[in-house]
C-alpha cells in the first residue's frame, strides 16, 4: 500500500471508530463502566489493523460500513455476554501472553464417543489425563452433524448444538470449566470453510432463499464450475470426485471442496464473515481456549487460481483473530494447513495464527523411519523449523487424518532426491508393498490419474508392531515399540506443543472393523480412529505388556519434559551428527538430542559435536531419560531406535 493510501486509511479508521463508539456503547450497556472501558481500550489498540483487513476484503461493497458496524456490534454483544470467569482468564492471558510456549504444555486429542462415550465420560477420564500430564485437550468435532454423512463431525449442522448422543451445550461449558480447574485447556475445531447440507443456512438455501444461497457458492450451469475446476485440486478424488455438486431441488451447482454434503461458505459475502464471527465468539464464550481452524487453505476462491492459500484467506483469519483479541482474547488460533511447507508457514506469518500443526516434521519423521536416513529431515528442519517468537508448532506423529507426503519438492531436489519417485516409494513402503517394509498402512484416496495416494494407519501399525506381532518375532516387536517411543521422544523434545493422538500411548493397532459399517467403509481413515476399552487401559499398569511398556515409558518422558525448562518452545538447532542414521538437535544450547533411526547400533563422536553445538565448556552430560552420565571426551553408542536427551552440566 502506498504511503498516501495508508495515511488515508488510518484517518478513515479513526473517523469510523469515533462514529461507531455510541453504537457499541449501546451493546455494552449492561456492563459496568470499567468493563466497558476494557473493551473500548482493546478496540482502540486493534481497530486500525481490523479496519484495514476488512477494508481489503469488503471495501468494494456499497454497504461496507453497515457490515463493519454489524461485525463490531456482535463483538461487543459477545463480550458483554462473556462469563466472568472467562473475562478473568482473558486478563490472565494478557498478562502472560506466552503461556503456551512453556515446557509444561502437553496436548492430547480424541473422539469423544470413541474415547469416553460422551462428554460426561470425558469428565470421568480426568484422572487419566492427569496421569499423562495433559494440559491441552482437543476433542474432535462434537457438534450436531448428519447421521450418516458426517465426515467424523467435519460436516457441522449447527455450531451451537452439541451432537445429542454426546451431550448438551451446558455439558460442554461445564466440562470446559472442569478441565480448566484441572489445568487443561479445551481445544475444539472451528470447521469454518463449510457447513453440512443440513445446516439451517443450507436448508434455507435449498428452499430457494436467495439471501442464504449467497452464503454458499452456487452456479446455474457448468460454465464457471468448469473454469474453476481446470485449476482445482481434488481433495477426495476417490470418494468425492470434482469440487461441485448438483442439487436438483434448486437446479444449481454448489461448491463442495470435500464431500458432496459439505458446502463451502462464501466469505466474499460479509454477511458470512459476520455470521461465522458470531459462531466463533459463541464457542469462545463456552470456554474453548484454542480453536483448530479446519481446512484454512480453501476459504477464499478466485477464478484463474487454484483457490488455495490466497492472500484473502490470510486476511479473513487475521480479521477474525483481531476481533478475538478485542472480545475474547484468551482464545488462540491453531491453523490446520496440510499443504506446501511455505504455505503452512503463511498462516503463522500472514494470518497471525499463534499455533500451527507441523505437518512437515510429521512427514519427515515417517520418511526417516522408512529410509533409515535422517539427511532429508535435517535439511528440511534446518530450513523450516524456526518460526517467530510468540508462535508455536503443534508437533504430532498421527492424527485422525491420512498422511500425505507434503514435503517441498525443492527441498528434496536440493539433496538429490527425486520428489515423485520418493513419494511413490513412501506410499509403497507404508502400504507394506515395498520388500522388507515393516508397515501395515492402508491407501487413502488413491487417484489413478495421478498415481497419488495418502496413507492411513495407527502409529503402532505404521511403525511395525502389527506385522511384528503377526510374525511373532521378538526383535521385530522390540524395534517397533522403540520406533513408537523414539518418535514421541522427538515430538516431546523438539520445541512446540507435543500432541498425543490418544490410543498411541497404548500402542493401539489398526482397527479394521470400519469395513463392516457401510457408512464408514469407503474411508480408510477409520482404521486409525480406534475405540478405547477398559481392558486396554488396565494393561497400562503392567510393564510386561506392550501397552504397559509404551504407556509407562511415554508418561515418564512427558514428566521429564515438563520439568525441563530447556524444552520450552524456542531455540532448536538441527545439526549433522556425522551419521546419516542419527538425528541431532540442540535445545536452547542446554540439551543435545540424538536419535538413531537405524536397525543397527551407531556410534557418534561426541567431543566434536559438543565443540560445535554446545559452545562453552561442558564437564559432563546427563541423559535425562536413563540418568546415564557421559563425559564429553568419549564417543557415544546408540542402540537401534533409541534416543538420548543429553543435558549439559558444568
Ligand atoms: C480436514 O482435513 C479434516 O481434518 C478432515 O478430517 C476433514 O475431512 C476435512 O478437513 C474436511 O473438513 O484434506 O485429508 O490442508 O488437507 O483440511 C484431510 C488442509 C484434508 C486439508 C485438510 C483436510
408 vs 376, 486, 641, CA distance in Å? 11, 24, 26
Q: Is residue 284 part of a domain?
A: no
In whole angstroms, give the CA distance from residue 583 to residue 558.
Answer: 20
Is residue 1's pLDDT more than 60? no
Task: Identify the CATH number of the domain in which residue 216 sits.
Answer: 3.90.400.10
**Ligand 1 atom nearest to 258, measured from its CA:** 11
In whole angstroms, give the CA distance from residue 503 to residue 77.
Answer: 41
CA of 322 to the centre of ligand 1 (A): 25
**Ligand 1 atom nearest to 402, measured from its CA:** 14
264, 282, 303 — which closes off a domain? 264
In whole angstroms, give the CA distance from residue 386 to residue 360.
Answer: 12
In whole angstroms, give the CA distance from residue 3 to residue 525.
Answer: 51
Pocket of ligand 1 (CB under 6 A): 151-152, 154, 191, 235, 258, 294-295, 297, 336-339, 400-402
**Ligand 1 atom nearest to 257, measured from its CA:** 11
Q: What is the pLDDT of residues 440-494, one digit of tens each?
A: 999 999 988 888 999 999 999 999 999 999 999 999 999 999 999 999 999 999 9
* Average pLDDT over every residue of 137-166: 97
* Average pLDDT over every residue of 251-262: 98
* Average pLDDT over every residue of 81-99: 97
44 vs 112, 323, 466, CA distance in Å? 40, 12, 58
Q: Is residue 486 part of a domain?
A: no
Share of the chain above pLDDT 70, in %: 100
- Tally of domains within the chain: 2
Q: What is the pLDDT of residues 351-405, one digit of tens each?
A: 999 999 999 999 999 999 999 999 999 999 999 999 999 999 999 999 999 999 9
Q: Is residue 617 part of a domain?
A: yes
Helices (H), ranges, 500-545: 534-539
Helices (H), ranges, 290-418: 311-327, 341-349, 359-371, 375-384, 409-414
Q: Which residues pair with 583 in a beta bridge?
A: 576, 595
End-to-end CA distance of the chain: 53
Specify the pLDDT at position 2.
Answer: 66
Q: Is residue 8 part of a domain?
A: no
| Residue-number span of the structural domain to which 597 is assigned | 570-649
Pocket test for ligand 1, best of 157, 401, 447, 527 (most atoms within 8 A of CB): 401
Task: Identify the CATH number of the domain in which residue 592 sits.
Answer: 2.60.40.1180
286 vs 161, 222, 615, CA distance in Å? 12, 42, 48
Is residue 272's pLDDT more than 90? yes
Minimal-distance CA residue to ligand 1 atom 2: 295
219, 241, 264 — which closes off a domain? 264
Alpha-carbon 182 to chain mean position: 23
Q: Is residue 139 within 8 Å of residue 110, measured between CB atoms?
A: yes
211, 238, 264 — which closes off a domain? 264
Q: Which residues are annotated as catalytic?
A: 294, 336
Is residue 343's pLDDT more than 80? yes
| Per-residue confidence band for 425, with pLDDT thresholds at 50, 70 and 90 | very high
If one compares 613 and 178, the residue with the highest pLDDT of the two is 178
* Average pLDDT over every residue of 555-570: 98
- The angle subtended at Cα 398 by Cα 393 and Cα 402, nearest 5°, is 110
CA of 273 to the centre of ligand 1 (A): 21
Q: What is the pLDDT of residues 299-314, one digit of tens each?
A: 999 999 999 999 999 9
Cβ neighbors of 102 (< 8 A, separation 6 or more) are 568, 569
Q: What is the pLDDT of residues 521-552, one digit of tens each?
A: 999 999 999 999 888 899 999 999 999 999 99
- Residue 509 DSSP label: P
Rounded to the nearest 5 percent, the helix, strand and coil shares of the chain are 45, 15, 35
| Per-residue confidence band for 239, with pLDDT thresholds at 50, 70 and 90 | confident
Q: Burial level of 364, CB count in 10 A (0-12/13-18/19+)?
A: buried
Q: Is residue 155 part of a domain?
A: no
* Average pLDDT over every residue of 307-336: 98
Q: What is the pLDDT of residues 590-621, one digit of tens each?
A: 999 999 999 999 999 988 888 888 877 777 89
Specify the pLDDT at position 12.
Answer: 83
Q: Is residue 83 part of a domain?
A: no
In whole angstroms, give the CA distance from residue 264 to residue 451.
Answer: 27
**Ligand 1 atom nearest to 399, measured from its CA:** 4
Taking residue 123's Cβ as centre, other Cβ atoms within 10 Å add up to 16
Minimal-distance CA residue to ligand 1 atom 12: 154
* Average pLDDT over every residue of 251-269: 98
In whole angstroms, give the CA distance from residue 176 to residue 186.
Answer: 6
Pocket test for ligand 1, best of 258, 293, 446, 520 (most atoms within 8 A of CB): 258
Q: Is residue 34 part of a domain?
A: no
Minimal-distance CA residue to ligand 1 atom 1: 295
Q: Is residue 233 part of a domain?
A: yes
CA of 258 to the centre of ligand 1 (A): 8
- The angle subtended at Cα 377 by Cα 375 and Cα 379, nearest 5°, is 70
Amino acid at each position: 500500500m502506498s504511503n498516501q493510501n495508508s495515511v488515508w486509511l488510518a484517518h478513515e479508521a479513526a473517523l469510523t471508530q469515533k462514529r461507531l463508539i455510541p453504537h457499541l456503547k449501546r451493546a455494552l450497556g449492561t456492563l459496568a463502566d470499567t468493563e466497558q472501558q476494557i473493551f473500548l481500550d482493546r478496540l482502540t489498540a486493534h481497530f486500525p489493523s481490523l479496519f484495514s483487513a476488512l477494508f481489503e476484503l469488503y471495501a468494494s461493497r456499497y454497504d461496507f460500513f453497515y457490515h463493519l458496524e454489524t461485525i463490531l456490534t456482535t463483538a461487543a454483544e459477545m463480550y458483554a455476554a462473556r462469563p466472568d470467569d472467562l473475562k478473568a482468564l482473558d486478563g490472565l492471558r494478557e498478562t502472560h501472553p506466552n503461556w503456551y510456549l512453556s515446557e509444561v504444555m502437553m496436548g492430547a486429542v480424541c473422539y469423544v464417543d470413541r474415547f469416553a462415550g460422551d462428554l460426561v465420560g470425558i469428565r470421568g477420564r480426568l484422572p487419566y489425563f492427569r496421569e499423562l500430564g495433559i494440559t491441552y485437550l482437543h476433542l474432535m468435532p462434537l457438534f450436531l452433524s448428519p447421521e450418516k454423512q458426517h465426515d467424523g463431525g467435519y460436516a457441522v449442522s449447527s455450531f451451537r448444538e452439541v451432537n445429542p448422543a454426546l451431550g448438551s451445550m451446558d455439558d460442554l461449558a461445564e466440562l470446559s470449566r472442569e478441565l480448566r480447574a484441572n489445568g487443561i485447556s479445551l481445544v475444539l475445531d472451528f470447521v469454518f470453510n463449510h457447513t453440512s447440507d443440513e445446516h439451517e443456512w443450507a436448508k434455507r438455501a435449498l428452499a430457494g432463499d436467495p439471501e442464504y444461497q449467497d452464503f454458499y457458492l452456487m452456479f446455474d450451469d457448468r460454465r464457471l464450475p468448469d473454469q474453476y475446476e481446470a485449476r482445482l485440486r481434488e481433495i477426495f478424488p476417490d470418494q468425492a470426485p470434482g469440487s461441485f455438486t448438483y442439487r436438483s431441488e434448486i437446479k444449481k451447482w454448489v461448491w463442495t471442496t470435500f464431500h458432496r454434503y459439505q458446502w463451502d461458505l462464501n466469505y466474499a459475502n460479509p454477511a458470512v464473515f459476520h455470521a461465522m464471527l458470531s459462531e466463533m465468539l459463541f464457542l469462545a464464550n463456552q470456554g474453548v481456549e484454542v480453536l483448530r481452524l479446519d481446512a484454512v487453505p480453501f476459504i477464499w476462491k478466485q477464478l484463474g487460481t487454484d483457490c488455495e492459500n490466497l492472500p484473502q484467506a490470510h486476511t479473513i483469519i487475521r480479521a477474525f483473530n483481531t476481533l478475538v483479541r478485542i472480545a475474547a482474547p484468551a482464545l488462540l488460533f491453531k491453523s490446520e494447513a496440510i499443504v506446501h511447507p511455505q504455505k503452512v508457514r503463511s498462516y503463522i506469518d500472514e494470518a497471525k495464527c499463534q499455533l500451527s500443526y507441523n505437518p512437515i516434521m510429521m512427514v519427515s519423521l515417517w520418511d526417516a523411519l522408512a529410509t533409515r536416513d535422517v539427511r532429508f529431515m535435517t535439511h528440511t528442519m534446518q530450513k523450516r523449523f524456526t518460526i517467530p517468537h510468540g508462535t508455536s508448532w503443534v508437533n504430532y506423529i498421527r492424527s485422525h487424518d491420512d498422511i500425505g507426503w507434503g514435503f517441498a519438492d525443492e527441498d528434496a531436489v536440493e539433496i538429490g532426491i527425486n520428489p515423485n519417485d520418493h513419494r511413490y516409494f513412501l506410499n509403497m513402503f507404508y502400504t507394506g508393498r515395498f520388500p522388507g517394509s515393516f508397515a501395515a498402512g492402508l491407501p487413502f484416496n488413491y487417484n489413478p490419474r495421478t498415481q497419488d495416494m495418502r496413507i492411513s494407519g495407527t502409529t503402532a501399525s505404521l511403525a511395525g508392531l502389527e506385522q511384528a506381532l503377526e510374525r511373532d518375532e521378538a526383535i521385530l516387536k522390540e524395534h517397533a515399540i522403540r520406533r513408537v517411543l523414539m518418535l514421541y521422544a522427538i515430538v516431546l523434545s523438539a520445541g512446540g506443543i507435543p500432541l498425543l493422538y490418544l490410543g498411541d500411548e497404548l500402542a493401539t493397532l489398526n482397527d479394521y472393523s470400519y469395513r463392516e459399517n457401510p457408512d464408514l467403509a469407503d474411508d480408510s481413515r477409520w482404521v486409525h480412529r480406534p475405540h478405547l476399552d477398559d481392558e486396554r487401559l488396565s494393561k497400562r499398569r503392567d510393564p510386561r505388556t506392550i501397552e504397559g511398556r509404551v504407556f509407562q515409558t511415554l508418561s515418564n518422558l512427558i514428566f521429564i519434559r515438563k520439568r525441563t525448562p530447556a524444552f520450552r518452545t524456542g531455540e532448536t538447532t538441527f545439526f549433522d551428527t556425522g551419521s546419516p542414521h542419527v538425528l541431532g538437535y540442540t535445545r536452547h544450547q542446554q540439551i543435545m538430542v540424538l536419535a538413531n533411526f537405524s536397525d543397527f547400533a551407531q556410534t557418534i563422536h561426541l567431543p566434536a559435536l559438543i565443540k560445535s553445538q554446545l559452545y562453552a565448556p561442558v564437564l559432563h552430560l546427563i541423559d535425562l531419560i536413563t540418568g546415564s552420565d557421559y563425559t564429553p571426551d568419549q564417543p557415544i553408542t546408540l542402540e537401534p531406535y533409541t534416543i538420548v536427551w543429553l543435558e549439559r552440566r558444568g
